[in-house]
Structure 1
Amino acid sequence: MTEPTDPGAPGGTRHGSAEPLTRITAQPGPRPDHLHRKGAHAPMTRPDPPTLVAVAHGSRDPRALPAVTALLDRVRELRPGLRVRLAHIELNAPLLTDTLTALGDGDAVLVPLLLTRGHHVKHDLPGAAARAPHLRVRVAAPLGPHPLLVEALYARLTEAGWRAEHERSRATGVVLAAAGSRDPDSAADTRRTARLLGERLGGVPVVPAYASAASPTVPEALRALAERGHHRAAVASCFTAPGLFATRSAAAAPWIAAAPLGAHPALARLVLRRYDRAAAAPHPLPRELASA
């Protein structure tokens, strides 16, 4: 089962963050030689950190690539000197296999710019890493659920017109629009993000909804909110970049619709958080993915 080819489509521990999913060791790394042949100590050098490979879904929407590129520019600003590379699962260049081939020998951490666990994170990324034997690759967790993701979602809602007084009205509600997946872990991640966003909004009801492969759809979730008396409903866009699904979800909004997350500073910090956890906590490749 593959994820829907969502153009903008895009997971726990305490506070909703997730552990790195996998570590793939294609070959043993070189052992540092601390001694010269005559016993003198060689100068110690710090190894280069793994390359951060940010893996986006890919989209035919011309706004998607600039949005992801701007996000990675923010990541570079936060971590000067870190090698950051972009890759796509499909639809846009560079594709993941091409980016990994171009890296040469060394270490890399794949950080999915996806917001839930699903087929891409569980299978496509580990599979691509296993087919790059010249690299030692770890696969980080997706970006959600996490409080930093919620911070970005809240900010985008505010930019669209959400105000504090709306949180005190019984007529308001929010639909959290996500790509959707048949993987139950993906739906669980979206539900967790919706709960966290509802807490951030002071108890406003937040209903998760999906653009594909799962239910309820965004229009169905909006109708359900209206039936409960929440006639003033906003749509929060749980998409990394613009795309078909994000556009359709926003078009269904009867009131305000937030923009995709894009280059929000909290999302850039979250990318680095996922990178750091994966780089620092090696995990063996799960047996079921060993031949992916």
Structure 2
Amino acid sequence: MTASNPSRDESRLVTLDGRRRPGPPALVLVGHGSRDPRALETVRALMERVRELRPGLSVRLGHIELNEPLLTDTLAALGDAPAVLVPLLLSRGYHVKRDIPEMAAAATARTRLAAPLGPHPLLAQTLYDRLVEAGWPTDSDEATRRTSGVVLAAAGSRDPDSAADTRRTARLLADRLGVPVVPAYASAATPTVETAVRALAARGRHRVALASCFTAPGRFATQCAEAAPWIASAPLGAHEAMAHLVLHRYTEALETSVTTAA
């Protein structure tokens, strides 16, 4: 691999008549917001990883609620500049379908809305890695796998599309692990973690781990982890695969022709 030439890279940003070319649209990470200070720290760490992967790309942060900067303030600071909003959410639901588009529509920035981070194989890879970090064995024999299972703990939503996305993520993780993965929810949907654990036990799966399908630490993630009968993985956090997934959603959105505000 050859090292990049800074002067050559700079020349690409200048037109033949000496004017500077416009840079790519800003990438705005859209977090939900949390009263848990660890959530903001985690999202900022993820933002830094994204910046490391794409030097020169303007990467910003905005929250739907609870934390500053709020998305409305981040969009206001952009003025009428173009931006791609990448929700740090793991399925479709009210925030993706209503809250974020409404905030974008009220702004002067020209925005595109990317898909949520899940479902996607990079999300499943992060879930797998977090389970291994928590103690999930990578060399289990067939007898052990026959008695093992995983509960995929997510926030929950009344939107059926959200449940469908979480089930898809569970299938991707199950394919990676070779054991059943049952979705469970902290609120607004069923089953609960406890109910999912009992369902797996009824199938002879008594060695049950919990995979934390949360972007960052918070009340729901803590609540679900406390109900785990065995190991519980950490939230997704600033895993490198999550940073790659953010950039994938950004690029994907740029390849579409739909803007949410003009």
Same-fold status (TM-score > 0.5): yes
Q: Is the 8 A contact 1:166 1:172 kept in 2?
A: no
Secondary structure (helix, strand or coil) at the match of 1:63 reads helix
Residue deviations 1:223-263 (CA, integer Å, cap 9, x gap): 11111110010000000000000001100011000000000
1:225 maps to which of 196, 200, 217: 200
Secondary structure (helix, strand or coil) at the match of 1:66 reads helix
The Cα shift of 1:46 comes to 3.3
Task: Say if 1:194 and 1:278 are closer, same or farther in 2 by CA, change over 3 A.
Answer: same
Secondary structure (helix, strand or coil) at the match of 2:47 reads helix
The Cα shift of 1:166 comes to 3.7
Between the aligned partners of 1:282 and 1:121, the Cα distance in structure 2 is 18
Task: Say if 1:186 and 1:106 are closer, same or farther in 2 by CA, change over 3 A.
Answer: same
Residue deviations 1:48-96 (CA, integer Å, cap 9, x gap): 1001000011101111111111001100000001001111111111111
Q: Is the 8 A contact 1:138 1:279 kept in 2?
A: yes
2:250 maps to which of 275, 283, 292: 275
Correspondence list, 1:187-266, <5 A? 187-202=163-178, 204-266=179-241
> How high is the TM-score relative to the length of structure 2?
0.90
1:91 has 2:60 as partner? no
Q: Is the 8 A contact 1:167 1:201 kept in 2?
A: no
2:3 alignment partner in structure 1: none
Give structure 1 stretches of 5+ with no counterpart.
1-33, 35-40
Q: Is the 8 A contact 1:153 1:238 kept in 2?
A: yes
The Cα shift of 1:47 comes to 2.2
1:165 alignment partner in structure 2: 139
Correspondence list, 1:57-96, <5 A? 57-96=32-71
Task: Say if 1:97 and 1:167 are closer, same or farther in 2 by CA, change over 3 A.
Answer: farther
Between the aligned partners of 1:143 and 1:221, the Cα distance in structure 2 is 24
Secondary structure (helix, strand or coil) at the match of 1:196 reads helix
Count of aligned pairs between the two proteins: 245
The Cα shift of 1:173 comes to 0.2
Residue deviations 1:161-202 (CA, integer Å, cap 9, x gap): 001234732111000000000000000000000000000112
Structure showing the higher helix proportion among its residues: 2
